[in-house]
Amino acid sequence: MIKKHEGFAKTLEAQEEKIDTLEQLAQALLAQEHYASDHIRSRCQGVLDRRDKVKQVKQSYSLCAGRLFGKPETSQSCMDKHCFR
Distance CA 45, CA 30 (A): 12
Structural domain for 82, as ranges: 37-85
How many domains is the chain partitioned into structurally? 1
What pLDDT does residue 7 have?
Answer: 79
* Residue 28 lies inside a defined structural domain of this protein: no
* Residue 79 lies inside a defined structural domain of this protein: yes
* Residue 60 lies inside a defined structural domain of this protein: yes
Would you place residue 29 in the very low, low, confident or very high pLDDT band (cuts 50, 70, 90)? very high
What pLDDT does residue 12 have?
Answer: 83
* Residue 71 lies inside a defined structural domain of this protein: yes
Write the pLDDT tens digit of every residue in 31-71. Answer: 999 999 999 999 999 999 999 998 888 777 766 666 655 54
* Residue 74 lies inside a defined structural domain of this protein: yes
* Residue 20 lies inside a defined structural domain of this protein: no
Evaluate if pTM is beyond 0.85: no
> What's the sign of the alpha-carbon dihedral 22, 61, 65, 84?
negative
